[in-house]
Amino acid sequence: MQVIAQAPVTLLVHGGAGTLRRADLSPTQECEYREILDQALRAGQTLLLQGGTALDAVVAAVCVLEDCPLFNAGKGSVFTHEGRNEMDAAVMDGATGQAGAVAGVVSVRNPVLAAQAVMQRSGHVFLMGQGAEAFARAQGLALEGPEYFHTAHRWQQLQTALAQNQVMLDHDGHRSQGQPAPEPIDRKFGTVGAVALDAQGHLAAATSTGGMTNKMFGRVGDSPLIGAGTYACDATAAVSATGAGEFFMRGVVAHDIAARMAYGGLSLAEATQATLHEKLDATGGRGGVIALDRHGHYQLAFNTEGMYRGVVQGEGPPQIAIYRD
Ligand code: ASP
């Protein structure tokens, strides 16, 4: 009888990709990022080792990152053109194919919990704006005022973005129809995400973001769109993306990786590299993905200078990286 070895429980996290060079972070800052990625991984790992589900593990890991102002999700979210924080999040359970997402929430402390609640208790997949807020309130989720989400460094990023926009757009802060959206100013995408494999062999994915600095009021990115920034299916892969969302939406990146595996028989590594380096590169899209299959094979892949990222398998210690080493 052939004995198939059980893959170890596995958790991957990302905290955004972009122009991340060694010179950009002081040793102290680097330590802070590493520490919080470590915390996120350990939070999910503890659950997985206790027999918890992949879904619970990705939500726990993302909550840690949402609560940390260093990342562009929950506290520390970037500002829209109008100076507001509008957040998006999604979860997907590879075991059941169920998914939940919220977009444009302004007061939900942990948008990923709202996405999970949408999946488990709304009968829908995607709630946006005031409807998502009302649902989160009715579910008893923690809400916060704008001051909770406001951080000085994100406000400064908006001021820089506004100033450069005025130059780029002839002192007109609004784009006219058909004009391409300007490149993100600081070229760092601080969105957070997690993918996990649990002891039952199930996969899950979660992603949470404040979007892009100086985004238009009402703009929604790829993170909460199932198949674009977030996807999970036990038969193929769990994927969470980060990068310039418009490219990830047009490329349906997360599902593209799973589809190459399902229809083309590619391995996780082949599928991820093909999607990133053949498809995304060709359109000029920049960013990265974390991807995991049910055998515990994983990818932390990006076409930018760096990506905040980490992985933990079984009882092993978290491994964390930031730059393209
Ligand atoms: N993908 C996100 C968005 O476009 C941004 C990010 O990854 O930081 O909203």
Q: What is the DSSP letter of 24?
A: G
Among 58-62, 153-157, 218-222, which is the least confidently predicted range?
Answer: 153-157
More reliable by pLDDT, 136 or 180: 136
What residue type is assigned to position 111 of the chain?
A: P
Structure token pair of residue 206: 């979660």
264 by Cβ neighbours in 10 Å (0-12 / 13-18 / 19+) ranks as exposed
More reliable by pLDDT, 212 or 19: 212
> For the chain, what percent of residues have pLDDT higher than 70?
91
CATH code reported for the domain at 10-323: 3.60.20.30
Query: Are 48 and 9 a contacting pair, CB within 8 Å?
Result: yes
Ligand 1 atom closest to residue 215's alpha carbon, by position in its atom list: 9
Per-residue pLDDT tens over the stretch 231-261: 999 999 999 999 999 999 999 999 999 999 9
Structure token pair of residue 246: 């418009």
- Report the pLDDT averaged over residues 297-311: 96
- Is the CB of 211 within 6 Å of ligand 1? yes
**pLDDT band per the 50, 70, 90 thresholds, residue 3:** low
- Is the CB of 16 within 6 Å of ligand 1? yes
Ligand 1 atom closest to residue 220's alpha carbon, by position in its atom list: 9
Structure token pair of residue 279: 């498809």
The pLDDT mean for the chain works out to 91
Rounding to the nearest 10 degrees, give the CA dihedral for residues 294, 297, 303, 305. 120
- Is the CB of 189 within 6 Å of ligand 1? yes
Per-residue pLDDT tens over the stretch 54-109: 999 999 999 999 999 999 999 999 999 999 999 999 999 999 999 999 999 999 99
Q: What is the DSSP letter of 221?
A: -
What does the alpha-carbon distance between residue 92 and residue 120 come to, in Å, rounded to a whole number? 11
Q: Is the pLDDT of residue 284 over 60?
A: yes
What residue type is assigned to position 312 of the chain?
A: V
- Is the CB of 86 within 6 Å of ligand 1? no
More reliable by pLDDT, 22 or 68: 68
Ligand 1 atom closest to residue 188's alpha carbon, by position in its atom list: 8
Q: How far is CA 57 from the centre of its chain?
A: 14
- Report the pLDDT averaged over residues 192-210: 98
- Report the pLDDT averaged over residues 204-217: 95
Catalytic residue among 80, 151, 191, 236: 191
Least Cα distance to 252 among 281, 274, 278, 231 occurs for 231
Q: 96-117 burial by CB neighbour count: b if 16+ within 10 A, else e?
A: eeebbbbbbbbbbbbbbbbbbb
- Report the pLDDT averaged over residues 169-182: 35
191 is catalytic: yes
* pLDDT at residue 24, rounded to an integer: 81
Report domain extents, the chain: 10-323
Q: What is the DSSP letter of 278?
A: I
Q: How far is the CA of 282 from the centre of ligand 1 (A)?
A: 19
- Is the CB of 288 within 6 Å of ligand 1? no
**pLDDT band per the 50, 70, 90 thresholds, residue 132:** very high
